[in-house]
Structure 1
């Protein structure tokens, strides 16, 4: 019956089903380890021969409930929660790639992801080629190499707000017989299901809309269970793993091979696990995701339309306004709204933009997004400041771009705050 639940119901009741006399609300299992009476049972757990919790670096009941809820909400077969969104993305890549491998990525990315790909993955021997998100299928295919193992993109590029052309990128992945990984943080499971559009693995920074209150750092990797890891290109999934006495992941776990391998190797060895307390807070946030995303999206649309008419605003970008170049793709891939991010440029340049930011009262200058509270940022001098000017432009960041994460406050108060701040310049 739970498989037929709508997303709003999954947000509230998915992942945790208490038995008679148990807590109605998911509790915090704040423990590092677990007690067993039978040494043979514990041995089976260590050898992946039985289900259960043996150490909270690998699994925990509170974290497990969040993982199950998120997997159901996103439409996957399983998930692993991590300490941050960056850790989730790193795990998603390292579970497939090793030194000498190659990744193709859309260039419209969060600045931290660009740094991860160009600096630390490079140090690990993994090469990344960035492609224009508007490039043709043939142009993207021309970037492929014999060692290409992944194609990657963001549902809604942050902060360029490009809507990923799922059909095109998924077709490239199919032709190359490699997995398609998508960061759906800004899209959220409520507005977009990348698995319906050809994705194989989805990652999120749960710090953002999933938590929704800017209280807990976290990330999650969701497995669609829809990729053939036994196609001959991914030997780590089919050949014996010496650290588990020769276990073969596809043979032992079938379509759950990817997420199982991620948990029991990267989770075990690198240890970037999500804490039970953060999982508890994130689960609370998810209970209202469906309500918040409707309000985030409507507020952002209303503000974008208001800004379009203001004489001191040079340009406005929001995927759900009809003047946006991304409008058709937004309507195709996003269901029910364009999420809570919008960008705009102010007449007068960076000094007027700074004066505007200082004059805001309700909308705060904050390094985050996806919060119930509205906040603003200048990416060129903050989140994307470590990129070159060329890399910034490729990521969708222009010098005058201001990014707003619209909260769920009364839109009349948000517009009033913008109006008085614009009067100061």
Structure 2
């Protein structure tokens, strides 16, 4: 839905609690109600005509829109400064609908090699069968040369603001300038950072995607995704003719066919996802799951601030450890991304870090089996601290050459810092190291 929370401009921590919700419109309920219904009654025949003709926005069928889900969409749009947002059933649905929407009919996406493994694997397995191909950029860290890699049929640039698992940071502002100079949008996956640490739209991004499963919700109890748009990109271009296509389903009261740009000028990208991809592919977020994300958002700042602090403490502990080969965390002074972290992430560079285990495969696996307080599984951004061997799990789909390009060595261990006492976390790692080297 469109972001209608601009009546009064509040700061971040107020928005995360209040944006997109007026209790007067929901029987004065303090917490957003869960509208657990498949569909909604029409006032009359004219109301039904207006809704189906998209001449009036409202609740028709929960697959394409629901009041609980709408509060979530408007709240996150307010946090990101977006003109529109759409909530979906998973982060992968957010990525796939975004890429299909931007490159419909075929084309190329210039992307980062530093991505979540599932994204990379889908890029080679799924999208080429739909005529969408991916080029892994060699100059993302040298944006002045990036233009050389943009081809005539390149439809977008796709990156992560903080990469999973290695914490690679990019100069998003400079990349956005290159993208816009060539008439293509910049898409940023902001899952690791969350809007608390980083606002991609303020740095030039046109589309932002989230796996709300992770830090946005923060409790490991829901699968959800979001797509947001800046409202600033010009989709009226020969590169994107599908946005100017006039459709019968968008006709006005005089039966004139209209385009998404005409009907939804402020948020055509997310509107097109809603009424094309969500409507017909159906990855709808349930009202109950939307409610869980909303509850998680209420503590976003407090959670992420503590996770950042714990990640910083763990990185400092690990960087001098005798059983650790290296540590990757953008907040470390030794990191090649430290200056970017200081410039673009004043609240911290996230709760994700990775280190190289110095030992044999058997010792590495014994270490993972020995942790007690850390939880060994593949989520990130949880209130609980998590640990995993990414090359063998979350990025196991990558072939050896792909891991090399992504700079993911086999001894990499990823930590997602939670909210526990950092001294307890350090003690847990220490006892696990000692057991692994017995």
Give the TM-score normalised by the residue count of structure 1: 0.97
Distance, in Å, in 2 between the alignment partners of 1:328 and 1:99 is: 40
How does 1:266-281 map onto structure 2 within 5 Å?
Answer: 266-281=277-292
CA contact (8 A) 2:185 2:206 kept: yes
- Tell me how large the CA RMSD over aligned residues is: 1.4
Q: Would you say 1:185 and 2:188 are equivalent positions? A: no
Distance, in Å, in 2 between the alignment partners of 1:264 and 1:383 is: 32
Q: How far 1:12 sits from its partner (Å)?
A: 1.4
Aligned counterpart, 2:269 = 258
Q: How far 1:239 sits from its partner (Å)?
A: 2.5
Aligned counterpart, 1:303 = 314
Aligned counterpart, 2:72 = 66
Aligned counterpart, 1:216 = 222
CA contact (8 A) 2:137 2:146 kept: yes
Q: Would you say 1:292 and 2:297 are equivalent positions? A: no
CA contact (8 A) 1:319 1:325 kept: yes
Aligned counterpart, 1:144 = 150
Indicate how the Cα distance of structure 1 residues 196 and 291 shifts in structure 2: closer, same or farther if over 3 A, else same: same
Aligned counterpart, 2:411 = 400
Identify the range of structure 1 (250-259 vs 359-368) with the bigger mean alpha-carbon deviation.
250-259
Q: Would you say 1:101 and 2:107 are equivalent positions? A: yes
Identify the range of structure 1 (205-214 vs 21-30) with the bigger mean alpha-carbon deviation.
21-30
CA contact (8 A) 2:140 2:146 kept: no
How does 1:12-411 map onto structure 2 within 5 Å?
Answer: 12-19=17-24, 21-132=27-138, 134-245=140-251, 246-411=257-422
Distance, in Å, in 2 between the alignment partners of 1:133 and 1:74 is: 27
Distance, in Å, in 2 between the alignment partners of 1:384 and 1:226 is: 34
Q: How far 1:320 sits from its partner (Å)?
A: 0.4
Q: Would you say 1:11 and 2:16 are equivalent positions? A: yes
Give the TM-score normalised by the residue count of structure 2: 0.94
Aligned counterpart, 1:423 = 434
Indicate how the Cα distance of structure 1 residues 78 and 44 shifts in structure 2: closer, same or farther if over 3 A, else same: same
CA contact (8 A) 1:63 1:276 kept: yes
Deviation string, structure 1 residues 331-364 (Cα, Å, up to 9, x no partner)? 1222301111000012113222111111110001
CA contact (8 A) 1:107 1:133 kept: no
Deviation string, structure 1 residues 171-197 (Cα, Å, up to 9, x no partner)? 220121111100000010000000111
Matched position secondary structure for 1:254:
coil
Q: How far 1:416 sits from its partner (Å)?
A: 0.9
Q: How far 1:251 sits from its partner (Å)?
A: 2.0
CA contact (8 A) 2:112 2:140 kept: no
Q: How far 1:242 sits from its partner (Å)?
A: 4.0
Matched position secondary structure for 1:417:
helix
CA contact (8 A) 2:187 2:208 kept: yes
Deviation string, structure 1 residues 355-393 (Cα, Å, up to 9, x no partner)? 111111000111111100011111111111111111112
CA contact (8 A) 1:76 1:195 kept: yes
CA contact (8 A) 2:370 2:432 kept: yes
Distance, in Å, in 1 between the alignment partners of 2:227 and 2:106 is: 23
Distance, in Å, in 2 between the alignment partners of 1:188 and 1:269 is: 29
Deviation string, structure 1 residues 256-301 (Cα, Å, up to 9, x no partner)? 1112111111111111111101000010000000100100000000
Identify the range of structure 1 (398-407 vs 2-11) with the bigger mean alpha-carbon deviation.
2-11
Distance, in Å, in 1 between the alignment partners of 2:264 and 2:163 is: 33
Deviation string, structure 1 residues 142-176 (Cα, Å, up to 9, x no partner)? 22222111111000111121012202311220121
Aligned length: 425
CA contact (8 A) 1:194 1:202 kept: yes
Distance, in Å, in 2 between the alignment partners of 1:271 and 1:241 is: 20
Deviation string, structure 1 residues 18-38 (Cα, Å, up to 9, x no partner)? 018521111100011001131
Distance, in Å, in 2 between the alignment partners of 1:408 and 1:23 is: 30
Give the unaligned 5+ runs of structure 1: none
Matched position secondary structure for 2:102:
coil
Distance, in Å, in 2 between the alignment partners of 1:236 and 1:122 is: 19
Q: How far 1:2 sits from its partner (Å)?
A: 5.8
Give the unaligned 5+ runs of structure 2: 1-5, 252-256
